[in-house]
Each structure stands twice: as C-alpha cells, then as structure tokens.
Amino acid sequence: MVVTRPAYAVDRNTEAAAKQAMSLALKDHAGGDDEGAMLRLQRARKACGTSKCSQFVRAALLRDIGAITFLRGDHSQASTIFSDALDVQANLAWNPVFDNAEVVAEWSAVKNERAAIHEPRIEGDFEHVPEGEQAVNTPLPIYAELNMAGVASVVVKYKVPGGDEFKRRTLRRFGGGWGGTIPCADVKRGLIRYFLQAFDADGVPLANSGDVKHLYFVPIRWTITGEPPHLPGQSPPEACTGEAPPEVEVPETATGPTPVGPARYVHFWFGASASIDLTTVPSGSDVCALTASKATVSSSFYCTNPDGSDFPSRAANSVSTTKGQSGNSPGGPTSGDIRVLFTFDYAVNTHFLGGLRIGYVAESYPGAAASNDGHGLSTPLHVELRGTYLFGNEPLTRAGFSPYGFAAAGYAKYDASETSSAQLDGVVGTRPIVVWKLGGPFFAALGGGARYAFSPRIAFLLGLKAALAFGSGGLMPSLAPEASLQYGF
C-alpha cells in the first residue's frame, strides 16, 4: 500500500535550506551586508511558499526580513511584514540578533496593536468612538458627546506610547459635544491609550468613560491608509515639523459657551484641626522641692495646685515642702496637651501644599514659675509651618481618598501632667498637687494619614503626627492623632 504525503506537508529539504539561509543571512547582517542577507531571506521565503516549510520557519523568515527592512529605512513596510509574520505564528519570539532599540520597539508596537484588538469594549457615559489610526507626529483629534446637565469641563487623560504616567488635556465645547487634540509631540509610534472624564464648575467628577485600568486606544502608525482623523466639520490636522510643534486649536462655535481652560484646582485652603498629644513622663521623687533660693531642685518638673497656682509658693516667707513628701512622679505614658488650630494651606500644584497652623493649646501648664525661670512657653500658643504631599492621580482635582505625608516645624507649648500629693513643713496632712513635665518651645514633626475629599473644595483629614519638642523647656517626644476639616477657595 502506498501512502501519499498531503499537499500541505513540510518539505524537509526546503525547510533545511531555509534554516541554512537564515543562519547565513545573520552572518551577512553581522558583517554589514544587509543586501546579501535580504537576498538570502527572500529566496528562502519564496521557496517555502505557503506549505513547504513549518510555521515557525515561515514566520521567522518574515520577522528577519521585516527587521532588515526597518533598518533600511522603510518603517511602514517593516510594520506590515512584522504583522504578516505574527499572522503565521502569533507567539513568535524576537530574534536577538536584531536587538536594535528602534527595531525592537517597532516589533513590540505591532504585537501590542494586535493584542489590543481583542480587549473588551469600553463602556461609559460618553458617546465616543476612538479613531482607527493616526500618523506619527500628527495631532490626534478626540471628540465625544455627553447628554448631561451641569458639565463645565471635559478632559482626556492619556498615556503616550511606551509611557506609564497619564497626561491630561482639556477638551472644549465643540458643536454638540466636546473636542480637542492630543498634541503631536505625544503622537509617537505605538498605542495612545486614554479615558474621558467630565466635571462640574467646582471640579466634582460627574461622568466618565473608561478609567486608569480600562482604556480606549488608537494605533499610531508611520503611514495610514484610511481617511485622516478630524473633528466634525474640520479639516484633518497637519503633521508637525520642528522640535516644538504647535497644538491644533479647536475653534469656538456659535452655539457653544466660552471654552473651558486647563484643568482647575483650588489653591487656597482654610480649615480647623484638633489633636491630643500622647507622651511619656519620667519618674522622679521630691520633684516639687525648692532650693533655699526658691529654685526648683529638678528642672525637669514644675508643680501646681489644682487651681493652677504654683506649688510650692515662691514667696520669700513661704513654707517649704517636707522631704520625702515633696511630690512624686510615677512616670510612664500619659496624655498631654489638646490643640485646636486654625489651618491655612496654599496648593502649589495638584499634589503639594505649604501652609500655616496657629491656635490654642488647652490642658497646658498654667503656672508662672517655669516662664519666670526661662523654661518653656508661658502663652498657650501653637504656631507651625507645614508642607504636605498628597499621593495619587491629581488628588486636588477630584473627590475620593488620597494618602498624605507631611513635615512640620514650629513654636508651641508642650507639656504633660500627672496627679500626686505633697506635704508642707509644719502643716498636718498631705494635699493634692499636679506634677508637670515641660518641653519645647520649639518642635519638629513628621506624619501622615488619609485625606477624603467630598469634592475638590471640601476635604477631611485624619492622621498621626510624631513630634519632638526641644529648647529651654527640655526634650519631649509625642504622638498626636489629629483630625482636620478644610475648605478650598
């Protein structure tokens, strides 16, 4: 019985010859003879036809022909050949012999473009159809319609081919929708990916189509075959020349309102904050005792009566405390001052704010002895300079959560207290007293937390501040949970 070979079966001799041709072509290329390499590859491709060589060999021949074609300057034709190679074998690997950065980028662009075709369709609030393609270095028109009241601005947020960060362009009122262009400086070979957002007059998001993980795309190619993209009723934008090409402007229409400017965020933020210090007090005995000259024995502590007056009295004829009964500090963690502050911040950009906090320190040391001795701060005052950084995608332009961090320094009252008892010489019984540990009046702090913006104008912040007070009052570390409410103008 004679078994016939199917017409589409691989011809081993032809396949072997093609593999040898590829090997020799690579040597030609390494030696600078791309003409000779191309001739070998094209002959082998013709001999293989559509069935005499395996899929891998036929695809590899096309891949290498495409690489040499690109290196010879015909970028558009190279793209077509790369696509043909991937049609033959979709998972074809790159040939590292041609590891030229521009050639590899072109191969990746073709693969990414083919993969994007299978991505799910973007759903959203806008009526929008992305352009099928655009030529490199030519502004890319974006047009969308949105049937919704209260829209003041529409933006397109996009990634340039090969980029990771989003850029932002504001679309303008155009006929029955919103239109604009992505500037030609960003229209490079590959895929431009983007999504759309609409905002009201206060910058509150109203609508979107797509998001940071679900993106429209437009292939950017060396040449395009169909009608050039253009906004409704407008001529296609011209390709740019020079290093700083101008952006294509969208004209106003008779029926549209004044064009909306760049994406906005408020700069001036006013608010209020409250915090409570959590600190530690060192242990000590006879901490309220005075010397013969009425100076404190321990400069780390000061004492007061429950009514806030100094204990013991510094008057010349005052009674001294009894040794061993002059107030003890058990030491350990305790709560400290409560701070109620007015806040002001100026937004330098959509992430960074510099500001001032000033206000009142409650539950602080009420005596006069410490300030008379030159220790600490007599006024229950807090003055602070602060720099805050908000993380996330343009957090000041949108509602939602954003983590933040800050650094601060200032001038403020820092102290903490514990209850104790003491006895005066010649006086029967002990009396209640308050033992105070003082710090400051200078301090430095670091902290962070979470910010929730109800809108781009109203925000609530909840965080934790780690501070170290230092100066004439001594060192005092503290942690302070703080909450703030801010309004922007």
The CATH class of the 12-116 domain is mainly alpha
pLDDT of res. 259: 39
The answer to whether residue 458 scores a pLDDT higher than 90 is: yes
Give the mean model confidence (pLDDT) for residues 139-146: 95
pLDDT digits (tens, 9 = 90+) for 269-313: 999 999 999 999 999 899 999 887 777 777 779 999 999 999 998
pTM of the predicted model as reported, rounded to 2 decimal places: 0.52
Pick the CATH number of 121-263 from 3.30.365.10, 2.60.120.380, 3.40.920.10, 2.60.40.10: 2.60.40.10
Contacts of 230 (CB under 8 A, 6+ apart): 141, 236, 237
Give the mean model confidence (pLDDT) for residues 261-267: 64
E strand spans, 147-238: 153-159, 167-174, 177-182, 190-199, 205-209, 216-221
Pick the CATH number of 268-488 from 3.30.450.40, 2.40.160.20, 3.90.1150.10, 1.10.3720.10: 2.40.160.20
Give the mean model confidence (pLDDT) for residues 51-62: 94
pLDDT of res. 43: 95
Predicted confidence band at 316 (pLDDT cuts at 50, 70, 90)? confident
The answer to whether residue 1 scores a pLDDT higher than 70 is: no
Give the mean model confidence (pLDDT) for residues 312-320: 84
Instruction: Report which of residues 28 and 247 the model is more confident about.
Output: 28
pLDDT of res. 264: 59
Give the mean model confidence (pLDDT) for residues 398-414: 93
pLDDT of res. 149: 86
Question: What residues does each domain of the chain span?
Answer: 12-116, 121-263, 268-488
pLDDT digits (tens, 9 = 90+) for 220-237: 999 998 889 999 888 899
Helix segments in 362-411, DSSP class H: 369-372
Distances (CA, A) of 171 to 197, 260, 348, 481: 10, 8, 24, 42
For 247-296, the three-class secondary structure string (H helix, E strand, C coil) is: CCCCCCCCCCCCCCCCCCCCCEEEEEEEEEEEEEECCECCCCCECCCCCE
Give the mean model confidence (pLDDT) for residues 401-421: 95
pLDDT digits (tens, 9 = 90+) for 350-363: 899 999 999 999 99
Distances (CA, A) of 190 to 85, 170, 219: 18, 23, 6
pLDDT of res. 139: 96
- The number of helices, as runs of H, and strands, as runs of E, in the chain is 6, 19
The answer to whether residue 391 scores a pLDDT higher than 90 is: yes
Torsion of CA 82, 136, 131, 177, to 10 degrees: 170
Rounded to whole angstroms, how far apart are CA atoms 113 and 415? 64
Give the mean model confidence (pLDDT) for residues 98-126: 91
Distances (CA, A) of 468 to 1, 284, 433: 96, 21, 27
Give the mean model confidence (pLDDT) for residues 375-399: 90
The answer to whether residue 198 scores a pLDDT higher than 70 is: yes
User: At 139, phi and psi to the nearest 5?
Assistant: -50, 140
Give the mean model confidence (pLDDT) for residues 169-173: 92
Distances (CA, A) of 445 to 125, 299, 380, 388, 463: 45, 24, 19, 12, 13
Rounded to whole angstroms, how far apart are CA atoms 311 and 363? 17
Predicted confidence band at 265 (pLDDT cuts at 50, 70, 90)? confident
Closest listed residue to residue 476, CA positions, set 337, 360, 343? 337
The answer to whether residue 245 scores a pLDDT higher than 90 is: no
pLDDT of res. 8: 53
E strand or H helix that includes residue 77: helix 75-88
Rounded to whole angstroms, how far apart are CA atoms 450 and 395? 12
Q: What percent of the chain has pLDDT over 90?
A: 71
